[in-house]
Amino acid sequence: MNTLEKLIASTARIKILKVLVKQPDMRMKDFLRNVGGKSGEVYRNLACFEKTGVITTEYGWKGNRKTRTLHLMVERQQTQILLRVIKILAEAENGEETSLKTKIFRK
């Protein structure tokens, strides 16, 4: 199983991507609030995304507080494939018909 298949296999990871698609640049505190669930699991899933290059994290200062910001790497090919799969899954949840094309799952 390659890395893209591992990322798609987890529903928690798909939920994380859905949140990041709505707002590609988000503070970690806001992100954790939107995702919910156990923070340990969220951090573990974010580490998987960061390892594959789908997201990057930036550390900086906002006033006198150190902040951590997540950035979705939209221009990368792996991210585009993941976003297509999420779109197909969202349409399937809504009951809309979609035609699965094999080129989406090619590497």
Q: What's the structural domain count of the chain?
A: 1
CATH number at residue 45: 1.10.10.10
Q: Identify the domain containing residue 59 by its residue range.
A: 3-105
Lowest-confidence region among 2-16, 36-50, 56-70: 2-16
C-alpha dihedral, 17 to 37 to 35 to 32, nearest 10°: -110
Kindly report whether the global pTM for this prediction surpasses the value 0.85: no
Neighbours of 54 (CB within 10 A): 25
Give the confidence band of 15 by pLDDT, cuts at 50, 70, 90. Answer: confident
Cβ atoms 45, 38 nearer than 8 A: no
Nearest Cα residue to 6 out of 58, 39, 54: 54
